[in-house]
């Protein structure tokens, strides 16, 4: 069966969103051809044209014999250039490499070139059988040149149920008709396909995880800015670092306290959901990962540069004289309104009694979690706990004269002009807040409630921040305030409460509020105390595809073994997955490279590090599906939020939700 010639009037726009089937972008529809309801429609086979003499068309070729031919049919997205191919498995069938700038989907090519009938719902259903375990007509593949590492792969849609014979047949036929056939490797995209690849001894393969690690550059946030290039070398004392808004910063290792700058280049990069990446997105600045950037651009350090992060690469060069004049503008500041604190309520509240509207009393973190706990979603739990209203922070500050100290500090002109001085004075303020004794009645009530939690032997509570200046639309406050894990004993809990209160004045929190135009005097700290959960695995789920803003139906999941405090640290690569709850498909982007994990220190309190074996997935397929269902149910509790940032953990096989907030980008 051979394709028929098409008219140029049939050409489709080249700017349509990428389909799935092996590319790095995920199609948001129910199946790659975009027919959510196709399963319920009785298939009706399409009429096929009789065989004709094989004649290549401008929109497809039976072979690709050179890179020039490949580029004529290919499309470049990010650091990948790809074409698609349709392999006819019927008797005498050929192989057809088609122009993805013309035909976005395999089905579009098939019905424009093979069939004369209109593409009805029933014919879509018939075609979609080619994604099943049996291929009645076609094998559908994508061929990709990973430009950064010059690796060539062929792949199937992550939901494709192809078997060993299909992969072997595809590899053989492509190798005989594609100019890079000898270098071509099968790239499994789903956990099922990864398991299949390990059994294919005759077909070379490479995982997305391996490709991710071999890459030397990733774009995390696009943008174009001018700034003074600065190199932050590995091993510098983080506690003394300050940054200027007009700096373009090269980081040789992840740091916990970077403040607003004009651009970030990370030599060591892990995931777009690391705190430094979320900050860059919220600031609206360019951010890339680039191995060896400090050495490559050492001659530009200390000079004004233009930094342009693009979807498919970057530009970093000396700024022209006209561009250098933009240096004084620095980062583009924002203005964020925060809920006005309610200081009239002092009664502690159990989480299931707290609702989202009570952010002015209990802070946004506790209020959002209370909403989830109140909903009692089947299969979803929130660790038991209670909130300490912000009124107690206010009382603590006033009782010990700390409010006057804050006023004097904010009136100090030098504080706003000298970063080192500002860091020092904020540290002194935090020390004073922590040193002031906790109110006796409050300490007694907190201890009584902790007793009611009936903690397991060797486990404590998490003492967490919950302010009126975090987890808000337009301002997440990710990583700004302090959490004290696995606290045991009444005295240690009292110390932890004061430490959380003091974290309102963390250097990074102060700087972030300045950037977002938030009045420091309007910010108050509540405290959330929760049962500690010694998690087997933990991570973050975003209810959208962070790699493709058009794909709002796919979830992004990051996961690591043990407690979740490392997931957003950005020091090691987590397990990164894309999950589509409608299609129930899982795409593997990377596997965790951790060789250790954090667990509770049952003897001393706090946490300790223990070794963990490499190689095994953090999440099984079943856990991914359950986590996706939980996230879908949680998202329905916040109907006005476009995408949620959900922190989760696994206690055995039980999903626990420990944070839910709007996912914020600029």
Q: Domain with 437 in it: what CATH number?
A: 3.30.1490.20
How many C-beta atoms surround the C-beta of residue 145 within 10 A? 21
Contact predicate 113/145, CB 8 Å: no
Domain that includes residue 585, residue range: 537-662
The pLDDT of residue 50 is above 70: no
Question: Is residue 525 scored above 70 in pLDDT?
Answer: yes
Query: Is 489 inside a domain boundary?
Result: yes
In the prediction, which pLDDT does 30 show? 42
> Is residue 212 one of the residues assigned to a domain?
no
Confidence of residue 92 (pLDDT cuts 50, 70, 90): confident
Top mean pLDDT of 182-186, 326-330, 431-435 is at 431-435
- When mean pLDDT is compared across 153-162, 374-383, 566-575, 623-632, the lowest value belongs to 566-575
Please indicate, yes or no, whether residues 190 and 282 belong to a single structural domain of this protein: no
Residues 198 and 81 in one domain: yes
What local confidence, expressed as pLDDT, does residue 241 receive?
Answer: 84
Contacts by residues 452-459 (CB-CB < 8 Å, ≥ 24 positions apart): 453/384, 453/385, 453/531, 455/531, 455/532, 457/602, 458/600, 458/602, 458/603, 459/486, 459/488, 459/531, 459/532, 459/534, 459/600, 459/602
Q: Report pLDDT digits (tens) over 62-83.
A: 999 999 999 999 998 878 899 9
pLDDT at 20 over 70: no
In a domain, 340, yes or no: no
Residue 503 covered by a domain:
yes
Lowest-confidence pick of 243-247, 552-556, 605-609: 605-609
Task: Identify any residues that bridge with 249 across adjacent strands, giving them in sequence order.
Answer: 230, 264
Tokens of 496: 């932890």
Whether residues 103 and 157 fall in one domain:
yes
Is the pLDDT at 26 greater than 50, yes or no?
no
Q: How many angstroms separate the Cα of 478 from the Cα of each of 260, 273, 275, 290, 482? A: 13, 10, 7, 24, 10
Please provide residue 653's backbone torsions phi and psi, each rounded to the nearest 5 degrees: -105, 10
Q: What is the dihedral of CA 430, 436, 442, 445, to 10 degrees?
A: 90
Of 173, 207, 241, at which residue does a domain stop?
207
Residue 242, domain CATH: 3.50.30.10
| The dihedral formed by the CA atoms of 642, 643, 645 and 646, expressed in degrees to the nearest 10 | 100
Q: Indicate whether 89 and 142 sit together in one domain.
A: yes
325 and 360 together in one domain: no
User: Does residue 313 contact residue 290 with C-beta atoms inside 8 Å?
Assistant: no
pLDDT of residue 277: 78
Do 41 and 146 lie in a common domain?
A: yes
Q: What is the mean pLDDT of the chain?
A: 85
**Residue 75 pairs with which residues in a beta bridge?**
82
Same domain membership, residue 638 and residue 573: yes
pLDDT value, residue 280: 85
> Are 246 and 306 in a shared domain?
yes
Domain boundary, last residue among 148, 183, 207: 207
When pLDDT is averaged across residues 78-102 and rounded to a whole number, the result is: 91
Strands of 537-542's sheet in order across:
380-381, 654-662, 644-651, 537-542, 555-561, 575-580, 585-590
What is the model's pLDDT at position 240? 80
Q: Token pair of 352, please?
A: 């299931």
Residue 242: pLDDT band with limits 50, 70, 90: confident
Overall domain count for the chain: 4
Average pLDDT on 228-245 reads: 86
* HSE-up (13 A, CA, CB side) for residue 472: 22
Of 103-112, 252-261, 486-495, which has the strongest mean pLDDT?
486-495
Same domain membership, residue 471 and residue 373: yes
Please say if the pLDDT value at position 47 is more than 60.
Answer: no
Return the pLDDT at 207.
Answer: 93
Beta-ladder partners of 539: 559, 648
Tell me, rounded to whole angstroms, the distance of Cα 332 from its chain centroid: 24
Q: Supply the CATH number for residue 546's domain.
A: 3.30.470.20
Q: What's the pLDDT score for residue 4?
A: 44
Identify the pLDDT of residue 71.
95
Q: Does the residue 285 lie in any domain?
A: yes
pLDDT of residue 52: 39
User: 207, 234, 262: which is the final residue of a domain?
Assistant: 207
Return d(Cα 422, Cα 551) in angstroms, integer: 43
Confidence of residue 169 (pLDDT cuts 50, 70, 90): very high
One domain for residues 588 and 487: no
Beta-strand relationship, 247-251 and 223-232: parallel
pLDDT digits (tens, 9 = 90+) for 105-151: 999 998 888 776 788 888 899 999 999 999 999 999 999 999 888 99
pLDDT tens digit sequence for 243-256: 988 999 999 988 76
Q: Is residue 251 within 8 Å of 276, Cβ to Cβ?
A: yes
> What is the pLDDT, as a whole number, of residue 56?
67
Most trustworthy range by pLDDT among 256-260, 294-298, 312-316? 294-298
What pLDDT, on a 0 to 100 scale, did the predictor assign at position 569? 47
- pLDDT at residue 133, rounded to an integer: 94
Do 624 and 604 lie in one domain? The reply is yes
Whether residue 434 is predicted with pLDDT greater than 50 in this model: the reply is yes
Q: In the prediction, which pLDDT does 183 show?
A: 92
In this model, does residue 413 exceed pLDDT 80? Answer: yes
Looking at residue 260, its pLDDT comes to 87
Task: Tell me what pLDDT residue 54 has.
Answer: 47
Distance, CA of 83 to CA of 99 (rounded, Å): 7
Q: What percent of the chain has pLDDT over 90?
A: 60
Alpha helices, DSSP H, located in 270-375: 275-283, 293-296, 321-324, 359-375
In a domain, 338, yes or no: no
Q: Tell me the whole-structure pTM to 2 decimals.
A: 0.78
CA distance 608 to 601: 5
Say if 344 falls within a structural domain: no
Residue 293 shares a structural domain with residue 392? no
* SS3 letters across 229-266: EEEECCCCCHHHCCCCCCEEEEECCCCCCCCCCCEEEE
Whether residue 617 has pLDDT greater than 50: yes
336 belongs to a structural domain: no
Segment 173-198 mean pLDDT: 94
């Amino acid at each position: 069966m051979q394709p028929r010639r098409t008219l140029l009037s049939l050409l489709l726009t080249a700017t349509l969103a990428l389909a799935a089937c092996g590319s790095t972008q995920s199609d948001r529809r129910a199946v790659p051809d975009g027919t959510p309801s196709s399963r319920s429609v009785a298939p009706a086979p399409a009429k096929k044209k009789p065989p004709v003499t094989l004649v290549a068309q401008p929109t497809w070729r039976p072979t690709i014999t050179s890179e020039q031919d490949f580029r004529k049919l290919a499309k470049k997205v990010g650091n990948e250039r790809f074409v698609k191919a349709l392999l006819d498995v019927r008797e005498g069938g050929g192989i057809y490499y088609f122009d993805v700038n013309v035909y976005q989907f395999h089905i579009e090519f098939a019905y424009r070139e093979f069939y004369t009938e209109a593409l009805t719902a029933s014919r879509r259903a018939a075609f979609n059988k080619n994604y099943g375990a049996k291929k009645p007509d076609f094998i559908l593949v994508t061929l990709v040149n990973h430009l950064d590492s010059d690796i060539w792969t062929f792949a199937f849609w992550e939901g494709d149920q192809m078997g060993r014979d299909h992969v072997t047949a595809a590899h053989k036929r492509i190798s005989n008709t594609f100019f890079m056939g000898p270098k071509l490797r099968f790239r499994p995209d789903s956990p099922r396909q990864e398991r299949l690849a390990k059994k294919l001894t005759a077909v070379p393969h490479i995982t997305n995880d391996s490709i991710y690690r071999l890459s030397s550059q990733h774009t995390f946030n696009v943008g174009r800015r001018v700034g003074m290039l600065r190199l932050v070398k590995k091993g510098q004392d983080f506690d003394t670092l300050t940054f200027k808004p007009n700096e373009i910063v090269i980081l040789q290792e992840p740091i916990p306290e970077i403040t607003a700058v004009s651009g970030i280049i990370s030599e060591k990069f892990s995931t777009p959901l690391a705190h430094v990446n979320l900050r860059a997105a919220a600031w609206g600045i360019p951010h890339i990962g680039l191995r060896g950037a400090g050495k490559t651009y050492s001659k530009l350090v200390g000079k004004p540069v233009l930094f342009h992060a693009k979807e498919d690469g970057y530009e970093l060069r000396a700024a022209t004289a006209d561009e250098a004049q933009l240096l004084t503008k620095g980062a583009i500041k924002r203005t964020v309104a925060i809920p006005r604190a309610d200081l009239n309520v002092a009664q502690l509240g159990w989480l299931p009694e707290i609702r989202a509207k009570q952010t002015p009393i209990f802070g946004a973190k506790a209020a959002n979690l209370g909403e989830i706990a109140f909903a009692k979603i089947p299969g979803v739990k929130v660790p038991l706990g209670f909130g300490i209203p912000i009124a107690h922070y206010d009382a603590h500050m006033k009782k010990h004269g700390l409010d006057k100290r804050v006023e004097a500090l904010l009136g100090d002109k030098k504080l706003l002009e000298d970063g080192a001085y500002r860091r020092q004075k904020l540290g002194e303020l935090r020390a004073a807040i922590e040193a002031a004794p906790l109110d006796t009645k409050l300490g007694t009530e907190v201890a009584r409630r902790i007793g009611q939690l009936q903690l397991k032997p060797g486990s404590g509570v998490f003492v967490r921040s919950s302010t009126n200046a975090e987890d808000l639309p337009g301002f997440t406050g990710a990583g700004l305030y302090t959490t004290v894990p696995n606290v045991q004993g009444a005295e240690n809990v009292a110390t932890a409460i004061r430490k959380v209160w003091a974290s309102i004045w963390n250097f990074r929190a102060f700087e972030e509020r300045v950037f977002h135009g938030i009045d420091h005097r309007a910010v108050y700290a509540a405290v959330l105390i929760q049962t500690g959960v010694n998690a087997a695995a933990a991570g973050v789920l975003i209810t959208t595809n962070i790699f493709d803003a058009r794909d709002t139906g796919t979830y992004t999941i990051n996961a690591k073994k043990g407690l979740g405090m490392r997931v957003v640290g950005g020091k090691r690569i987590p397990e990164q997955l894309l999950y589509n709850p409608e299609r129930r498909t899982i795409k593997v982007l990377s596997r965790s490279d951790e060789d250790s994990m954090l667990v509770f220190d049952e003897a001393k309190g706090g946490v300790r590090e223990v070794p963990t074996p490499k190689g095994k997935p953090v999440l099984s397929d079943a856990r991914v599906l359950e986590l996706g269902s939980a996230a879908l149910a949680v998202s329905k509790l916040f109907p006005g939020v476009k995408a949620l940032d959900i922190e989760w953990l696994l206690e055995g096989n039980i999903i626990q939700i420990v944070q839910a907030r709007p996912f914020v980008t600029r």
